[in-house]
Structure 1
Amino acid sequence: MSNEVASFSPASLAAVLDQSVDCVKIIGLLGEVRYMNANGMCAMEIDDFSTVAGQQWADFWPEETQSVIRASYSEAELGKPVRFRAFCPTQKGTARWWDVTVSAVKNDLGEHAGYLAVSRDATENQTSRDALDIATSELRHRLKNTYTMIASLLMGFARGNPHHSEFAEQMTERLVGLSRAQVLFAETDTPCDLNDLVSALVEPFSNEHCGVEIERLPACTIDKGRADAIALVIGELTVNSSKHGAIKYGGSVKICGEADDRSLSIFWAEHSFAPVVEHVRDGGQGLALIGRIMRARSGTIDTAWRDDGLDVTLTFAL
């Protein structure tokens, strides 16, 4: 829809805006509600527009979101649409989440005259995401407990046997390292330091026969979505190496990365003392899975096989 609006008259806008399934509002220069389409009134459970006309739009929202609403006006006035998701109950108290876009509008003289605010009901999506986050947190908690339990069992079985004790201590250190990696994902939307993430993922697998070396990584933080993708891909690569490659048979694994304003790349270079026998195993789904994971996060993965290992490049657009 054009930002050139001839007037704020509901009659002149209703024919177009009432076709939208979203809650569409015209907000005045002082933040007051000037217009709301019929579907918006239905979504917000407003029976009579006169009960909200002229009121501050920010006041409709919970206190913690009101500052976000007010800040969106100044940003939108600069010509940059503002987008956010926030919770706001309807006028009748029904709990709902909204995806909101705020844009500046101009009158027929080209002068800044107010704001167009479009709110889409995101309750179902948010509820599903919350349920997934809860389930994921529970799985991580159980996984940490499993690491602890296995470490305790190993130490218990090895007690009194020096040879077994040395092995148990090494395995316990690796399990503790894997458990530490889970802590990096404790908060749903907390950015993660790339160096901390990769170190926590690979250090437990380094051994005297195969050093896992982090040569250089850019100093940057990454969002949870990309952190999850990196963790899953590097996790799959380390597990495969532990079963079929350098970590099992000896060799080296080197990890490095680079970043600029447009992209982040991470490189995995593995050299094994044992030759590569096959690239894909019957029933193996690991490489296909990590490819799907990367695509889901708007990333790419390139794999180049050699006789003694493989090179993998992960790339994310920034």
Structure 2
Amino acid sequence: MRFDDAPDRFKAGNASDRFSGASGVLFEQAMAQTRMAISLCDPHAEDLPIVFANRAFRQLTGYSEDEVLGRNCRFLQGPKTDPEPISRIRKAIENEDVVVVELLNYRKNGTTFWNALHLGPIYNDRGELVYFFGSQWDVSDVRAARAEEQHAKEMARELSHRMKNMFAVISGIVNVTGRMRGIQSEAAEINSRIQALGRAYETTLDNASSGSIEIGEAIRAVLSPYDRDEERLKFDGTSASMPFTTISIVGLILHELAANATKHGAWASEGGRVLVNWSLVDDDSALAITWEEHGGPKVDSAAIEKGTGTTIVDRLLSGGRGSITREWRDTGLFVTVKVPTRNAA
């Protein structure tokens, strides 16, 4: 930073003496009106004392002007102030450099605040160092928000880990029970549904600190195993986030539709395709999903509608106050599903 030429001596507490004429007046007005806490230190005096502190600085720290002027800024430090940013400040002063640090400072009454300090040199027109300028900003709320966000992410990661373990344990129990009772095929069918639920959560749960999951990612995760060549599925939909309950219902419904398409529908034929579209409807209070099959063989709709998968889907939607319609078009099955996004449990 650079200002007009300044005399060699000045009166402590009146930093504008170093700026001539109109510059001094403008300096005083700017410092008085700004809400940013600002201080100036004299680099030519012993121990770099504060020679100017505006009203915002005094309000931030709780000290009066007489208690601030002539002291080094370290008087705002305390027992929990980290020495690392202090070292960076000291180095910047030695090198006449600019530095921005966050450090814990103490007010006069002993309370702490996180100070985002911007420190830099001020030169006159001859290139001579006349001050070190410091602006202080109370970022305690910002730091608290960061800590809460980090805590939420850590909790989400832990929840993700536990849910993955839970799905693995349940899957293992189903497999063991199936072998013991001689119903391996039934156990495999149940496990396929468990795995579909796991996929719906697994790819996005690490970021679900807000208690919701991005619906598009969940849909793609559930259906990706059925589209290994990436030619049988087409997606189109919103990127909105949904509560966990909605994700559970959607994940199981899409799994049943995909299983049906593999056995009897579009994916039972070479070149069969499925188009999946989703959007928010009813003033964003519901999620609408369309499932449109093309290129599959003609199927016995009555037999499918009596199947286990159909029963599961209908009961899930009934319990979640959702709805489903099925149309057996010439091009293939067309399904419309609506799931509430609020109070879906």
**Into which bin does the TM-score normalised by the smaller protein fall?**
0.5 to 0.7
Select the residue among 8, 13, 16 that pairs with 2:30: 16
Select the residue among 26, 35, 50 that pairs with 2:66: 50
Question: Where do residues 291-302 of structure 1 align in structure 2 (5 Å cutoff)?
Answer: none
Q: Please name the residue that 1:28 is paired with.
A: 42
Select the residue among 275, 280, 283 that pairs with 1:283: 280
Q: CA deviation at 1:237?
A: 6.4
Select the residue among 165, 172, 191 that pairs with 1:155: 172
Select the residue among 100, 107, 112 that pairs with 2:124: 107
Question: Where do residues 87-166 of structure 1 align in structure 2 (5 Å cutoff)?
Answer: 87-162=104-179, 163=184, 164=187
Select the residue among 223, 229, 249 that pairs with 1:251: 229
Distance 2:174 2:67 in 1: 72
Assess, with a 3 A threshold, how the Cα gap between structure 1 residues 250 and 33 changes in structure 2: closer, same or farther: same
Q: CA deviation at 1:85?
A: 2.4
Q: Tell me whether 1:241 sits opposite 2:220 in the alignment.
A: yes
Distance 2:107 2:57 in 1: 11
What do residues 277-305 of structure 1 show as CA deviations (whole Å, max 9, x unaligned)?
Answer: 35x523299xxxxxxxxxxxxxxxxxxxx
The amino acid of 1:282's aligned partner reads: S
The amino acid of 1:25's aligned partner reads: S
What do residues 53-74 of structure 1 show as CA deviations (whole Å, max 9, x unaligned)?
Answer: 3332234224643442342354
Distance 1:167 1:28 in 2: 76
Q: CA deviation at 1:18?
A: 1.9
Q: How many residues align?
A: 213
Distance 2:36 2:167 in 1: 52
Q: CA deviation at 1:44?
A: 0.5
Select the residue among 41, 45, 69 that pairs with 2:58: 41
Distance 2:176 2:135 in 1: 65
The amino acid of 2:55's aligned partner reads: A
Helix, strand or coil: the match of 1:46? Answer: coil
Helix, strand or coil: the match of 1:84? Answer: strand
Q: CA deviation at 1:242?
A: 3.2
- Consecutive unaligned residues in structure 1, runs of 5 or more: 186-227, 254-271, 286-318
Is the Cα contact below 8 Å between 2:88 and 2:99 reproduced in 1? no
Q: CA deviation at 1:76?
A: 6.7
Assess, with a 3 A threshold, how the Cα gap between structure 1 residues 84 and 154 changes in structure 2: closer, same or farther: same
Is the Cα contact below 8 Å between 1:73 and 1:115 reproduced in 2? no
Distance 2:272 2:115 in 1: 55
Distance 1:152 1:96 in 2: 47
Report the RMSD for the aligned CA atoms in angstroms: 4.2
Q: CA deviation at 1:106?
A: 1.1
Assess, with a 3 A threshold, how the Cα gap between structure 1 residues 274 and 240 changes in structure 2: closer, same or farther: farther
The amino acid of 2:163's aligned partner reads: T
Is the Cα contact below 8 Å between 2:37 and 2:137 reproduced in 1? yes
Helix, strand or coil: the match of 1:161? Answer: helix
The amino acid of 1:85's aligned partner reads: E
- Consecutive unaligned residues in structure 2, runs of 5 or more: 17-26, 232-266, 285-345
Q: Once structures 1 and 2 are overlaid, which stretch shifts more, 105-114 or 89-98? A: 105-114
Helix, strand or coil: the match of 1:105? Answer: strand
Distance 1:33 1:107 in 2: 18
Q: TM-score, normalised by structure 2?
A: 0.49
Is the Cα contact below 8 Å between 1:14 and 1:37 reproduced in 2? no
Q: CA deviation at 1:276?
A: 6.0
Assess, with a 3 A threshold, how the Cα gap between structure 1 residues 53 and 249 changes in structure 2: closer, same or farther: same
Is the Cα contact below 8 Å between 1:33 and 1:54 reproduced in 2? yes
Helix, strand or coil: the match of 1:251? Answer: coil
